[in-house]
Structure 1
Amino acid sequence: MPEIIKISLKTRTDKSYDIVLGNNILSNLGQAVKKLKCGNSIFIITDKNVARFYLKKTITALKKGGFSDVGKVIIPAGEVQKNFKTYLKILNALYEFDKNQQKKVILLTLGGGVVGDLGGFVASSYRRGVNYIQVPTTLLGLVDCGLGGKTAFNFREAKNLIGAFWQPKMVYMDTAVLNTLPLRELKCGLAEAIKYGVIKDSSLFSFFEKNMRKLLNYDKTALNKMIPVCAGIKAKITSADERDDKDIRIILNYGHTLGHAIEAATNYKKFHHGEAVGIGMVLAAKLAVKLGCLCSCEATRIESLIRKAGLPVSAKGIEPKKILASMKRDKKFVSGVNRFVLPISIGKVKIVENIPEDIIANILTN
């Protein structure tokens, strides 16, 4: 039986939804969607890598659930595709599918973070908002970016600058998709998973220290133990702060201020998202030590674990001034003042504002 994790979002309207989590449950996707009663036509957004393994299976599952009208668009894979041009490509394909019929369409994002973010934003903007369902196919999607309703694409030098909060009707997670996930992408997902240990759960952090080799070997027991814990932490935080305006959800940005800047400074070509976040977490821990927030032994534990996960730990070779320039475009800046999520111990973080640029530059240089 799949595990159900609830995200409760009851503000002016009820936007609550379920995370359905299980192993080898993709064949039951159509029946799960049918129970939602939120549309009768489905339009799938996926990328070339994922389509090769899961598009046919997904369409079969949807038809088995009673959906005869299923359309699709396949985009190239990679962060460099997360832009306005790809957004328009998806919109055009959706329009052709829907043209002159005004279908009650459900968008279904089948893929990792790029597909989920772009597809979610299409759902938020097409006809002023249509229903959508997330079906993550990466570890990063299962533990982080497939949850929470943030949708966006990159614009000019800024990461996720154009976007909206738009909640899915359901997130459907089949952990069996990890069987086809390349090791580099598995490591990227582990970076975001480690983040939860640092910001909220010291026992989860210890679990990673003891089980990293198993996780890197795709051990099903270890993965199936870790994924619901991470998803549960994300669900609890986003339920408390849906729109990131209560200084609760911001802790999820640990490692992301410098991580996003590193991605942008290298034109999204040198590092994958999880790799950049891993570097950002190490740098943020060093910054915390420099400011007297964190003891050096805890920073060493963070860096050692990220190394153990096979992730990069430095931005060596990238000019600090490029990273600092990209950082200033970060959405978390308020009136030109930087905001960092810094660890004060394993399992606890705090928000620190207005850190002098020369201190940040020193951390980047050394």
Structure 2
Amino acid sequence: MTIDILVAPKHRFDEILQDIHNTSGEVVSQDAGLSIDDVVTITAIYRNAIDDRAAWWKIRREVNARFATHPDIQTRTLAAIPGNVIGEIAGFSSENIGAIAERWIAEDGATPGTSQNAMDSLASLVAACNIATTQSTEVLLRTNQPPNAFERAFSTLGGKELANYQKAFGKWDDTKRHEAHQKYNYYQKQGLANCLALVLRDLTRPKTKKVNLKADQRTIQRHIAKRVKAYRKNPCPILGSPGDPVKLITLTFDIEYEGYVDFDFDTRPDAISDIRWEERTEECLEIPHWNEGMQRFCYDGIPLNVTLHDGSKTKITSEAGEDVYERYIGDMLRDSLIDARESGLFDNLPLARECFMLVAGTHANYAWPDERGFCDAHSAHRHDGG
């Protein structure tokens, strides 16, 4: 993949995108070593928002507002950095460049591999932003790259299957196509079969208009009871030995890529001090409308109506952010675990003397218990082996 940094007047955007010989625009840096996603990261670091998911999503929408793909060459893209972001980057000092570069390469998906590469790329970007500020032009990132895994998979299709995918893919804008690539890569990393079909399913079905967490809680409670019953008959922890007592009961969830809940057990002696996130796909409870709801207010900017598990109703907007949505879901899962404990559901499990419960999002900020410590999973039954 090669990415060039250019400066050019705003009205020449389409011309530069179409110019496959790369004769248009003033090239500031060839093969600059950063992408438009890197610009999102750089901006978020500078604004002290890299750990704030709601703020990060807003920055991502802001920076990706003008992104286009060549109509015939899908591997050729052009992105324009917004004017206010250009102004911010143009003002970076050498100290800013050094500090941001160090944090940048620590982030997942960062293009540079070393601190020096990151500083060189950032210095080129700062130089381009200064030129654009002086000339009242804009900074563009022009990408030429080989087909990615999603596009290679797409190219192997034929017949009716290809026609169905082309019909859907042709209707998507560039933001949605980028999302399709991300989802495909995610499903591949999960080791799932027919990842193209999963992407098509996710991006073509109607997005839910409302989420009822009270109804979802009943479904999740039944799932927990079923998993507990199965464990009593045949202990099979996600981590640790089946013969050891349970040290940690986990309830993890995802809303960003799929929408699911995963209830499981950890019997490792150091489970509390060494929290690990594992996913047992075949045992997950799929709740796809959680992801669809998140897409509704995050990507589409349309409010999502939510019924909370106490029966009250609220509305989530893009301004409220993903963290609010995560908290509603996480708190419902927390109360579901507590209810299960207090009802005696865990009484006949082989619990360690010190056994705790944990709720957390796999791609989220939510975690319970928080810094105050873990919640005791015991009710009446205790196992003396832990």
Category of TM-score, reference length = shorter chain: under 0.3
**Bigger helix fraction:** 1
TM, length-normalised to structure 1: 0.27
Give TM-score scaled by structure 2 length: 0.26
- The structure with the larger Rg is 2
